[in-house]
Structure 1
Amino acid sequence: MAMKRTLAIVLAGGEGKRLMPLTEDRAKPAVPFGGNYRLIDFSLSNMVNSGYLKIVVLTQYKSHSLDTHIARTWRMSGLLGNFVAPMPAQQRRGPHWYLGSADAIYQSLNVVYDERPDYIVITGADNIYRMDFSQMVDYHIASGMPATVAGIRQPIELADQFGVIKEKDGVVEEFLEKPKNAEGLDDDPSVVLASMGNYVFDTKALIEALRKDAANPDSKHDMGGDIVPYFVERGECAVYDFKDNIVPGSTERDRDYWRDVGTVDAYYDANLDLISIHPIFNLYNYDWPLLTQTDPLPPAKFVHGDMGSRMGHAVDSLVSEAVIVSGAEVTRSVLSPKVAVHSWAQVSDSVILNSAVINRRARVHRAILDKNVVVEENASVGFDHELDRSRGFTVTESGITVVPKDAIVRA
């Protein structure tokens, strides 16, 4: 019954400044990931696999490619009343765009009034994980609380990057925003319980909280910073521990995997998490599929088998449709659709996005090449960081070079 009375809201309006230049021309949830996917596909796959087929996606910044992807890929049966609907900022509450995640939902309450759900599930659109939200909703209902926040165990040294939950007997006692001196859990002092940005609310209670928040001139109108503390202060917020979520087909190694890809380094690391022999995030779990739609493309092709001078091969890598590796060497990398790697080129420890071309004798190492990048013959990326910076490319603190969309890398 709860499944039929539940509306899902996916927050996809973030600007994604920390993921620049990958978000220079696209919304963060539209950033490609893992070859075939976009970041939003993970949240939407989790919702659909959980049985929630009425989904609103709240968009705002640079949303054209995101809206197009949703419209082409995430089509539901209107006959059955199911939908995945992108919903841009509409200025229903005044001449301003979304002021924060809570204001985004407040401005979109018309869809809540139309659907009249008893429960609302809210999640972000840019994290990599698998989760059965129906288990969290069942937990929420059983708790009797009007609000539930999902928590995940994270190393205590990362506490200042998250909202940290202090709980007792399943009730949130404190919600600390990026604390500098966090205390570890009783059963494991080396970790804290961090907010995943996933919530379940009783609809009436959420509407009341949003209305009060909208009337508060001192509020930042943020779900984690304002709405959750509102319920915590009233002793009305339960916590759901992500480790208790059992997804079909998961293993002990990957079942509680969750990665916030809010920075370029985190995005890079999450992509490379996919390519090990026993990955800590397994794309090949067919019991909980990651759903998307790609263009009708031919299979990948590896050509030239000359063992002496050139042989097209890729090892410890993900290779997508229509990739051509022609007499080149690819190691520990993710190649997105329609990438071409030409003879004697070398690609290692890199993430190559759609339609990039690496020409003869070019070298790419520890780099992210955005869509349509061309690396000219004999050019290199990722070996000389000062040279990369002088070309206008981004180099992260960990040494990952990011080449923006449509750039040409010359020798």
Structure 2
Amino acid sequence: MSRTLALILAGGEGRRLDPLTRDRAKPAVPFGGRYRIIDFVLSNFANSGFLKMKVLTQYKSESLNTHITRGWRLSSQLGNYVETVPAQMRTGPEWFKGSADAVYQNLNLVTDEEPDFVFVFGADNVYRMDVRQMLQFHREMGADCTVAAIPMPVEDAPQFGVIEVDRSGRMIGFQEKPSVETAKTMPNDKTKILASMGNYIFTTDSLVREIVRDAGRESAHDFGKSIIAEMYQHSRVFVYDFAQNSVPGQGPKERGYWRDVGLIDTYYQSNMDLVDVDPVFNLYNNRWPIYTFQHNQPPAKFVFADREHDRVGTATDSLISEGCVISGGSVHRCVLSPQVRINSYSHIEDSIVFERVNVGRNCRIRRAIIDKGVDVPPGTTIGYDAEADKRRFTVTESGIVVIPKGMMIEPQ
């Protein structure tokens, strides 16, 4: 087998996910109740059998470091590991200037491991991927670099690197976050672009050459606009069609599912995808599980069946994590992290609730994201009066109310 090393880029600030990223790195933001966003890329590598992973961190990384240290222990005896690598300033007293500079400042990881191929993947997306299939494509094409890509609506072009390919799959054009008007659309569908997923495979010599070259010039030191945009013009850069990737236990509905959860509205909708009766992304695929830290909490509990006084603990079309207590309240289309308590006569719908949130009696909450450790006073109403919500909380353009971690909410 080829020697491989996975470098997971987890150092971004995640400003567009504020206030969820005020106290944590974006890859550490909870997702799906009991997971963190980074669990998805790590699980893809683990399930694919690539068990040497270095996670490059920088901003507000304490909770991310703790999560990986406690939840991702592989057998060091067999040479397997998931290790966090904080910014070390090995090349001078500077933070990472971009994703490419993050790898340049940590080239010792590559030279120490001496892999044949290096994976450079982002840590901010939700998807399943058999990475072996992408590596096989890379080797068959004799590529110096392979970029994973997926069709996206042309309206989203300003958020992505936009790729052009020839019939053989070789990259012949690249635009970094172009405007909708200037974005190159797909030849067979003018409503779509071919978007880079930010996942790359490099032959090691090619990676080292390009990273060192970029470090010696004026650039953004970013993989998209600095490395890929230059590299395809003089090297063999190929594009891997993620829609062709398949994993065991995956249904046709999920094939090609990939979400960049860097915006509050996208993050919210991606969580809501999980609670459908037949979800487009199925967490219950035991043949390709999503691994995470295991909480030592008792099972979820639903108490009171006092139908005469409408005091019944219920949850419908929802994900309820361990340690939750639904005490005489009702939950509909919600995602609850561990140790959430919903008290009597409260109704929560279409919402995401993080760890250790307590919702008092007689509350009404809808279309909200409530961060960790919030105590919602009895009688509180959230999500029913947009103007009142904007005076107290963050409200997105689509009307999602976001309550920051540990916020003290005044009683109404």
> What is the TM-score normalised by the length of structure 1?
0.97
Partner in structure 2 of residue 179 of structure 1: 178
User: Is the counterpart of residue 24 in structure 1 residue 25 in structure 2?
Assistant: no
User: Cα deviation per residue 1:49-85 (whole Å; 9 max; x = unaligned)?
Assistant: 1111000000000000100111001111111111111
Aligned to 1:197: 198
Q: Distance in 2 between matches of 1:80 and 1:137?
A: 22
Q: Which residue of 1 aligns with 2:242?
A: 242
Say whether the 8 Å CA contact 1:376–1:408 is kept in structure 2: no
Per-residue deviation, 1:253? 0.4
Q: Aligned letter for 2:121?
A: T
AA partner of residue 174 (structure 1): G
Aligned pairs (5 A) from 1:266-281: 266-281=266-281
Count residues with an aligned counterpart. Answer: 407
Distance 2:340 2:369 in 1: 13
Please tell me whether the aligned partners of residues 314 and 331 of structure 2 are also in contact (alpha carbons under 8 angstroms). yes
Q: Which residue of 1 aligns with 2:326?
A: 325
AA partner of residue 270 (structure 2): A
1:93-130 deviation line (CA, Å, top 9, x unaligned) = 11101110000001111111110001001111110000
Distance, in Å, in 2 between the alignment partners of 1:75 and 1:116 is 22
Query: Aligned equivalents of 2:230 and 2:286: distance in 1?
Result: 40
Amino acid paired to 1:63: S
Measured after TM superposition, the shift of residue 408 of structure 1 is 2.7
Which shows bigger deviation, 11-20 or 185-194? 185-194
Partner of 2:289: 289
Q: 1:105 aligns with which of 85, 94, 103?
A: 103
Q: Deviations over 1:228-267 (max 9, x none)?
A: 1121111421000001111111111012110000011111
Deviations for 1:12-69, whole angstroms, at most 9, x for unmatched residues? 0000000001000111111111001001100100111111100000000000010011
Contact 1:55/1:84 (CA < 8 Å) preserved in 2?
yes
Pairwise CA distance, 1:399: 0.4
**Contact 1:209–1:230 at 8 Å: present in 2 too?**
no
Q: In the alignment, is the contact (CA less than 8 A) between 1:18 and 1:264 conserved in 2?
A: yes
* Counterpart amino acid of residue 74 in structure 1: W
Structure 1 pair 183–230 and aligned structure 2 pair: CA distance change class (3 A): closer
Asked if 2 retains the 8 angstrom alpha-carbon contact of 1:164 and 1:192, the reply is yes
Kindly state the Cα deviation for residue 400 of structure 1 after the two structures are TM-superposed: 0.5
1:188 shift after superposition: 3.2
Matched residue SS, 2:132: helix
One-letter amino acid matched to 2:175: L
Q: Distance in 1 between matches of 2:7 and 2:387?
A: 43
> Gapped runs of 5+ residues in structure 1?
none
Q: CA deviation at 1:382?
A: 1.6
1:389 Cα shift?
2.3
Aligned to 1:86: 84
Aligned to 1:251: 251
Asked whether the 8 Å contact 1:154–1:194 carries over to 2, the reply is yes
Contact 1:381–1:388 (8 Å) recurs in 2: yes
Q: CA deviation at 1:187?
A: 3.3
Runs of 4+ aligned structure 1 residues displaced above 6 Å come to none
Aligned mates of 1:158, 1:13 — CA distance in 2:
23
**Contact 2:144–2:235 under 8 Å retained in 1:** no
- Conservation of the 8 A alpha-carbon contact between 1:121 and 1:199: yes
Write out per-residue CA displacement over residues 289-326 of structure 1, whole angstroms, 9 at most, x where no aligned residue.
00012221100011111223211101011100011111
Pairing 1:118–2:112 present = no
Separation (CA, whole Å) in 2 of partners of 1:121 and 1:382: 42
CA contact (8 A) 1:34 1:274 kept: yes
SS of residue paired to 2:232: helix
SS in 1 for 2:256: coil
Structure 2 CA distance for aligned equivalents of residues 69 and 262 of structure 1: 20
Q: Distance in 2 between matches of 1:378 and 1:274?
A: 29
Q: Structure 1 CA distance, aligned partners of 2:352 and 2:101?
A: 35
After superposition, residues 11-410 of structure 1 pair within 5 angstroms as 11-168=9-166, 169-180=168-179, 181=181, 182-216=183-217, 218-308=218-308, 309-391=310-392, 393-409=393-409, 410=411
Unaligned runs of 5+ in 2: none
1:211 partner SS = helix
**1:16–1:23: 8 Å Cα contact kept in structure 2?**
yes
Pair 48,66 (structure 1): closer, same or farther in 2 beyond 3 Å: same
C-alpha displacement of 1:336: 0.7
Alpha-carbon displacement from aligned partner over 1:264-287 (angstroms, at most 9, x marks no partner)? 111111100100011011101111
